[in-house]
């Protein structure tokens, strides 16, 4: 048993020595390159302009089921007022861009970040 313990200690010690030497060798050589080293973009570069959204969406007719709102707010711990805002925002996004298919939970996750 003592022999096995000594062997395990020797293996751990050797691993630490090799790892330490590797870090030292990389630091001394100074030749570590990570990723693409291309030049940063110039400040005078032309940017394409985005067109403004012209689709108006009326949010006053957005009806959120009150029972769903209460139940989901209780289950998730999200305040009902914020949950309603997330659901309305998802409805507005889906109405203005039908291919969007964004859910209220995705809007909430974006808001959380």
Q: Residue 105: give the domain boundaries.
A: 66-112
∠ at Cα 68 (113, 110), nearest 5°? 10
User: Long-range contacts of range 45-51, CB-CB < 8 Å, 24 or more positions apart?
Assistant: none
Find, among 84, 48, 50, the residue nearest to 92 by Cα: 84
pLDDT in tens, 9-31: 888 888 878 888 777 776 766 66
Q: What are phi and psi of 45, to 5 degrees?
A: -70, 140
pLDDT category, 56, cuts 50, 70, 90?
low
Whether the per-residue pLDDT at 38 is higher than 80: the answer is: no
The whole-number pLDDT of residue 73 equals: 93
Q: Is residue 84 part of a domain?
A: yes
Q: Is residue 98 part of a domain?
A: yes
Q: Is residue 97 part of a domain?
A: yes
Work out the percent of the chain whose per-residue pLDDT is above 90.
20
pLDDT category, 100, cuts 50, 70, 90?
confident
* Number of separate domains in the chain: 1
Q: Is residue 14 part of a domain?
A: no
Whether the per-residue pLDDT at 49 is higher than 90: the answer is: no
Q: Is residue 38 part of a domain?
A: no
């Amino acid at each position: 048993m003592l022999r096995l313990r000594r062997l395990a200690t020797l293996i751990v010690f050797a691993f630490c020595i090799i790892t330490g030497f590797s870090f030292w060798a990389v630091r001394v050589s100074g030749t570590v390159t990570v990723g693409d080293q291309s030049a940063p973009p110039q400040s005078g570069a032309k940017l394409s302009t985005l067109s403004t959204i012209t689709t108006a969406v009326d949010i006053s007719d957005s009806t959120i089921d009150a029972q769903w709102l209460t139940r989901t707010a209780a289950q998730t711990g999200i305040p009902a007022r914020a949950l309603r805002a997330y659901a309305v925002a998802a409805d507005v996004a889906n109405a203005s861009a039908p291919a969007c298919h964004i859910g209220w939970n995705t809007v909430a996750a974006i808001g959380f970040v």
